[in-house]
Structure 1
Amino acid sequence: MKRSRILLLAPTLILAYLAMAALWAWVSFDAALASVPVPQLAPLSQRQSAILLRVEAPGFFGHYGLSIGTGQGLATISSAVARDVFLQRGQLDGVRGALQSMYQRVFACCKRIDLGRDVMALVIDARLTKHELLARYTASVYMGTHQGRQLRGLPQAAQAHLGKPLEAATEHEFVTLVAMIKAPNQFHPVRDPAALAQRSRRIEALLSGACKPDGWFDTDFDACDTTAPR
């Protein structure tokens, strides 16, 4: 009997947790956003935006924060910005800060199935325009380290790894930056240039239409490996 009651109570507790997380994110939005300034805003060209979205969130402009229907997993741009603003870099105080600490602990424990983070993505998608979200993601996405310094955003990565502003990057150079986003300290131009080159080739094959992701959660693009035996 106790077990059946627990099973009946569990969905109610989960819904209550998600409702509380959504309400907290909504009322804390302005303070959380202000606590996480972006390093440098740099608008992407139309082609650069198309490349970034094709790889990271193909359905970005057609959803309300999350989607598993048109891309490789959950829509990573909204989720990444929500994670950055609400859970990772900013720190609130008072009651809002205490709740934030709780959500941070839950996220640290259960990153892949943290529905709290997911409802925060819905909130941030409702509070910012798509273009604001994209600009913030471009300026703040974690791009690994360079000479002991943490890089934030594609503009910093372009200066560090290409030695030029982002707007001056060639399409191939921009693809290499996008290729790093998945795991920037793994797909690194100094630490493992071969792995970065392979992922860049796969993305270029994807962009050309020569291949497509194998399902919702395929972010490796194995079918796009032009060096693999046929």
Structure 2
Amino acid sequence: MKRLRRVALLVPAVLLAYLALAAVWAWTSFDDALASAPAGEQVELSARQAAILVRVEDPSFYDHAGLSIASGQGVATISSALAREVFLGEGRIGGMRGAVQAFYRGVFDCCKRIDLGRDVMALVLDARMSKREQLARYTASVYMGTHAGKQVKGLAQAARNYLGKPLAAASEEEFIRLAAMIKAPNHYHPVCNPEALAQRAARIRALLSGQCEPDGWFDTDFRTCPA
């Protein structure tokens, strides 16, 4: 019984130490991690495009501090997705901080759904980067599937590959379809699975027009919305 009590006390202590290290490392390594992470092709969204993207991907983006349990949010915010790219993505930093980065990258690869370290990094990123900067960087780096055998990164590349035009020239309907892809870009692929993409885009249009609302935190499929 005593051993069980010791284990019960040890587990939260180890978890707190793990999260504290993640916070300190992310704060002190932020500039190096940001500099080493691929920036992608940044473009300025119109006010309407930004509103659509935030409504679909992160409805409380402008109000939260990096994490959110808003209705329709799901397990990731724009901030946490960006934290994954900046701190745990392709960029590499050197020295002892690089060794810690490799450790946290390994934990994330193992336990994506329950990695609280990444969530702490999202809080740090939100404190260090303005919402406007976050949105611009997310727009430039978000994965948008595979086209002609190559990965498509960012909405600007996606517009050129899937729409054949610059993002600024995309109609609202075309932008909704791009936003609809983000959840699972190889499933909601305009070439490989146009029917699934059309259904998701229809649900998003209904959401934007106020015909329906997400059914709870995990409803990122907008199940109550007509397709």
Q: Is the 8 A contact 1:151 1:157 kept in 2?
A: yes
Map 1:121-132 onto structure 2 (within 5 A): 121-132=122-133
Q: Is the 8 A contact 2:180 2:201 kept in 1?
A: yes
Per-residue deviation at 1:36?
Answer: 1.2
Aligned partner of 1:176 in structure 2 is 177
CA separation in 2, counterparts of 1:221 and 1:139?
25
After superposition, the C-alpha distances for 1:100-153 in whole angstroms (9 at most, x for unaligned) are: 111011111111111000000000001100000000000110111110111110
CA separation in 1, counterparts of 2:118 and 2:35?
19
CA separation in 1, counterparts of 2:28 and 2:3?
37
Q: Is the 8 A contact 2:38 2:90 kept in 1?
A: no
Aligned partner of 2:100 in structure 1 is 99
Relative distance call for 1:214 and 1:70 in structure 2 (3 A) is closer
Normalised to the residue count of structure 1, the TM-score between the two structures is: 0.96
Which stretches of structure 1, 4 residues or more, deviate above 4 A after TM superposition? none
Per-residue deviation at 1:75?
Answer: 4.9
- SS of the equivalent of 1:151 reads strand
CA separation in 1, counterparts of 2:135 and 2:179?
14
The answer to whether 1:188 aligns with 2:189 is yes
Query: Percent identity of the aligned residues?
Result: 65
Aligned partner of 1:115 in structure 2 is 116
Q: Tell me, which stretches of 5 or more residues in structure 2 are unaligned?
A: none
- SS of the equivalent of 2:224 reads helix
- SS of the equivalent of 1:131 reads helix
After superposition, the C-alpha distances for 1:139-191 in whole angstroms (9 at most, x for unaligned) are: 11011111011111000000000000001000000000000000001100111
After superposition, the C-alpha distances for 1:58-81 in whole angstroms (9 at most, x for unaligned) are: 100111111113542245200110
Q: Is the 8 A contact 2:33 2:86 kept in 1?
A: yes
Ranked by relative contact order (alpha carbons within 8 Å, sequence separation 6 or more), the top structure is 2
Q: Is the 8 A contact 2:203 2:225 kept in 1?
A: yes
Q: Is the 8 A contact 2:44 2:136 kept in 1?
A: yes
Aligned partner of 1:54 in structure 2 is 55
Per-residue deviation at 1:10?
Answer: 1.0
